[in-house]
Structure 1
Amino acid sequence: MATINFGGVLENVVTREEFSLHKAQEVLKNETVAVIGYGVQGPGQALNLKDNSINVIVGQRKGTASWGKAVADGWVEGVTLFEVEEACQKGTILMNLLSDAGQMQAWNTMKKQLTDGKALYFSHGFGVTFNEKTGIVPPKNIDVFLVAPKGSGTSLRSLFLKGQGLNSSFAVYQDATGRATERALALGIAIGSGYLFETTFQKEVYSDLTGERGVLMGAIAGIFEAQYHVLRERGHSPSEAFNETVEELTQSLMPLVAENGMDWMFANCSTTAQRGALDWKGKFRIATEPVLNELYDSVLSGKEAEIVIEANSKPDYREKLQKELQEIHESEFWQTGLQVRKLRPNQQ
C-alpha cells in the first residue's frame, strides 16, 4: 500500500501501479467469480471483469428484466448465465450485487452454497452491518469482504471503456483462508477501480447512507428545488430558473471542480461571484450541518436501515415508489430540465 497525505491526514491506498491488473489476474486465475444480481452494479462489474479476462459468470432470476439485459449484454444461458442457486454453486467467489432487499430474500439460497474456502463479496456493507435486521450472518468458513465503487455501475463501465477508473473503498470482514485481502484487492483492480482506500463494513455503510441521503442526492435535490422555486416565485421564467440552478452547475462548474477542486473555482471566478460565495458559504454550512448530524445519527442508530427494510417489505412498495418518482418526473422543474437538455447542441 502507498501512504498518501490527504489534507494533512496520512492514509493507506492501493493503486494500479502497486497492484497491477496482471497481479490481479494471477490471484484470480483459479477462481470462478459469480456475479449475483444484474441490476445497478452487476452489469458494470461483470462486464469489466470479463473484459479483463477474469473467469466470470452471472446469476439472475430467469424471466426478469435483468435476465433479459444480461442476455442482451452477451451472457449465454447455461454457459455464463445461470439461475441464482446454480451460479452460487459454481462460483468460488460470490459477488452479492443484489439490492439490499434482494440480498435478504436470496440469503438462504446463497448461504447453502458457501462451502469451505469460498468468498462472499459485497459492494455495500448494509446486509452484514445490520445483520440483526437482515439475517445475513456469513458462515465462519469463508472469506467476506467488500469493494464499493464510489459511483454507479454505469459510471464504472463508461470510465472503464475510456481507460479510466472509479475510486473504490475496500474492507475485509472475515479472513478464513488468509487470502481475503488479496482476493478483495484483485477484484477491486479487475472491476476497474482507479485506486482503493481501506475502510470497514460499518464505516462504508454509515458514509454511504449519509452521502446518498445528503450531498449526493437528497440534499442536492432539495437545494435545487428550493432555489428553483424561489426564482420562479420571484418572477423568473422556468428556463432562466433551471439554467441558473442546474445547468450552469452541472455543465460548466462541476466539471471544473472535478478537474481542479472547489478551491480553484473560488480563485478563478469573477470577483462578484467570489465575494458573494465566500460570504454565503458559511451561512449554508451553519444551516445544513445540524441536518447532516441528525442524518448521521439516524444512520448510526439503525433507523435508516429499519425504514428501508420496512418499506421494501410492503407488498405495494413498488407501486407507491413509482408514484413518488413519477411526481418528481412530472414536476415543472424537471420537465423544464427535459426541454433544456434537448436544446443542448450535442443533444440535437
Structure 2
Amino acid sequence: MAIMKFGGVDEKVITREEFPLKKAQEVLKNETIAVIGYGIQGPGQSLNLRDNGFRVIVGQRKGGKTWDKAVADGWMTGETLFEIEEAVKRATIIQYLLSDAAQIEVWPRIKSYLTAGKALYFSHGFGITYREKTGIVPPTDIDVILVAPKGSGTSLRRMFLEGRGLNSSYAIFQDATRKALERVIALGIGVGSGYLFETDFKHEVYSDLTGERGTLMGAIQGLLLAQYEVLRENGHTPSEAFNETVEELTQSLMPLFAENGMDWMYANCSTTAQRGALDWMGPFHDATKPVFEKLYKEVASGNEAQRSIDANSKLDYRESLTNELKALHESEMWQVGAVVRKLRPENN
C-alpha cells in the first residue's frame, strides 16, 4: 500500500503493481462470488471477474430482460446463473449490485442467507449509509465491504477489454473475519480497477450523489443547455450552437484535459481563449458554488436520499420517469446531437 500525496494530503493508494492479479486470485481461490443484479454495474464486474479467472455466479430474477442478457453473455442457467436467493445461498461473497431501490426491496429475501464469514459487497454506499431509511442492516458476523468504480459498468468493461483500468475507491464497514482488507482489494483488482484509493461508505455516497447531481450529470446538462439556449436565442443555428457547446467540448477538449489536465489546456490555447477563460472562471465559480454547497448539505442531511426513496416508491414512478427522459431525449439540443454524431468521420 503506497502513500501518495494529493494536493498536500496523504492518501492510501493500492496499484496493480503492488497487488497483482495473481495475488488477488490466490486470496480468493476458495471463494464463490455471486453478482446480484445484472443492470448497470453487474455485467461489467461479473464479466471482468470471470475473464480474470475467479469463480463467479450471477443471481437475477428469472424471466426478465436482464436474465436474457446474462444468458446472452454466456452465463449458464443452473450452473453459473441462478435466482437471487439461490445465488446468495451458494456464494461466500455477495456483490449486491442491484439499484438502490431494488436493494431495499430484495433485502428481506436474502438477509437470512448471509451466514457467518460471508462478505457483503457494495459498489455504492447508499444502502448502508442510510440504513435507518433503507432497512439494510447486515449481520454482525459478516464482512461488509465496498469497491466503487469511478464510472459506469459499460466503461469498466470497455477499458478492461482495452487492457486499461478504471480507478475505484474501496471501503470497509465491517471486518468480522479479519480478512476484509485482502478480500476487498482482491475484488477491486479482479473487477478491473486501475488503482484503488481508500474511503468510507459515508464519504463514497456523499461524493457520488453530489457528483451525479453536479458536474457528472445534473450541473453539466444545466450548463450545456443554458449556453445552447443563449446561442439559439441570439440567432445561431442549431448546428453551430451544438458544435460550440457540446461537440468541441466532448470530442476535442475533454480528451486533452483528461490526458494532461485543465492547467495544460489553459497553457496551450490561444491568448484570446486564455484571457477569456481566466476572466470568466471566477464568475462561474462564484455563481455555482452556493448551489454545490446547498446540494452537499441536502445529501449529508439525508434529504436527498429520502427524496430518491420516496420517488422510487410511487406507483407511477416508472411512467413519470419515462416521460421525463423522453422530454430530455426529444429536446432540440439532443436531437441535433443525434444528427451531429452521425456526421462524425468514424460513422461515414
Instruction: Give the TM-score normalised by structure 2.
Output: 1.00
Distance 1:110 1:256 in 2: 46
Q: How does 1:158-169 map to 2 (within 5 A)?
A: 158-169=158-169
Aligned to 1:4: 4
Distance 1:334 1:7 in 2: 37
Distance 1:313 1:231 in 2: 39
Measured against aligned partners, the alpha-carbon deviations of 1:2-50 in whole angstroms (never above 9, x if no partner) come to: 0111122211100001111000000100000000000000000000000
Which residue identity is paired with 2:252? S
Q: Does 1:296 align with 2:292?
A: no
Which residue identity is paired with 2:215? V
SS for the counterpart of 1:176 is coil
Instruction: Give the TM-score normalised by structure 1.
Output: 1.00
SS for the counterpart of 2:196 is strand
Distance 1:240 1:8 in 2: 42
Q: How does 1:221-260 map to 2 (within 5 A)?
A: 221-260=221-260
Distance 1:328 1:346 in 2: 26
Measured against aligned partners, the alpha-carbon deviations of 1:210-229 in whole angstroms (never above 9, x if no partner) come to: 00000000000000000000
- Percent sequence identity is 70
Which residue identity is paired with 2:180? A
SS for the counterpart of 2:164 is coil
Tell me the matched-pair count: 348
Distance 2:174 2:347 in 1: 48
Aligned to 1:19: 19
Distance 1:45 1:163 in 2: 15
Q: Does 1:274 align with 2:280?
A: no
Aligned to 1:44: 44
Measured against aligned partners, the alpha-carbon deviations of 1:207-256 in whole angstroms (never above 9, x if no partner) come to: 00000000000000000000000000000000000000000000000000
Q: How does 1:50-199 map to 2 (within 5 A)?
A: 50-199=50-199
Displacement of 1:108: 1.1
Q: Which runs of 5+ in 2 are unaligned?
A: none
Distance 1:18 1:132 in 2: 38
Which residue identity is paired with 1:82? F
Measured against aligned partners, the alpha-carbon deviations of 1:283-327 in whole angstroms (never above 9, x if no partner) come to: 100000000000000000000100100000011100000000000
Displacement of 1:273: 0.4
Distance 2:201 2:7 in 1: 24
Which residue identity is paired with 1:191? V
Aligned to 2:314: 314
SS for the counterpart of 1:76 is coil
Displacement of 1:98: 0.2
Q: How does 1:198-209 map to 2 (within 5 A)?
A: 198-209=198-209
Aligned to 2:331: 331
Distance 1:77 1:273 in 2: 58
Which residue identity is paired with 1:316? D
Displacement of 1:110: 1.6
Measured against aligned partners, the alpha-carbon deviations of 1:138-171 in whole angstroms (never above 9, x if no partner) come to: 0001000000000000000000001100000000
> Which region of structure 1 is more displaced relative to structure 2, 67-76 or 5-14?
5-14
Distance 1:12 1:118 in 2: 26
Distance 2:96 2:261 in 1: 34
SS for the counterpart of 1:146 is strand
Which residue identity is paired with 1:103? Q
Moved over 6 A (4+): none
Aligned to 1:283: 283
